[in-house]
Amino acid sequence: KAGVTQTPRYLIKTRGQQVTLSCSPISGHRSVSWYQQTPGQGLQFLFEYFSETQRNKGNFPGRFSGRQFSNSRSEMNVSTLELGDSALYLCASSLGDGNTEAFFGQGTRLTVV
């Protein structure tokens, strides 16, 4: 069974630009969550989608947004990029019932210059 796929793996953007990251969950998983991973901060929760609806949101500014499509694929968008947005962005998929583990993709490494 294929794992969680994130594209692209690496991105370099300049300040002020916007970026869209993509995540394809494991087949049958309807929940997709996004996390920002930075050294010393661990994984910070961005948001979670289930059946195209955002069920939970972390404490990130409105520049960070996401959506989920009917096939459960999800995209995350960051507008007006700042240097501090440089991080590894991880996507995780699960069945979405709150009682099963999340499976992670390899992440998208975003560098803002």
Partner 1 sequence: AQSVSQHNHHVILSEAASLELGCNYSYGGTVNLFWYVQYPGQHLQLLLKYFSGDPLVKGIKGFEAEFIKSKFSFNLRKPSVQWSDTAEYFCAVNTGTYKYIFGTGTRLKVLA
- Report the residue from 23, 29, 78, 107 that binds partner 1 according to the rule CB under 8 A: 107
Which range binds partner 1 by CB under 8 A, 19-27, 51-59, 62-70, 76-84?
Answer: 51-59
Under the binding rule (CB under 8 A), the answer on residue 25 touching partner 1 is no
Under the binding rule (CB under 8 A), the answer on residue 62 touching partner 1 is no
In the complex with partner 1, the residue whose CB is nearer, 81 or 107, is 107
- Using the CB atoms, write b or e for 32-70: b if 16+ within 10 Å: bbbbbeeeeeeeeebbbbbeeeeeeeeebeeebbbebee
Under the binding rule (CB under 8 A), the answer on residue 10 touching partner 1 is no
Under the binding rule (CB under 8 A), the answer on residue 87 touching partner 1 is no
d(CA 5, CA 15): 26
Q: How many of the chain's residues bind partner 1 (CB under 8 A)?
A: 28
Under the binding rule (CB under 8 A), the answer on residue 15 touching partner 1 is no
Q: Are the CB atoms for 57 and 47 separated by under 8 Å?
A: yes
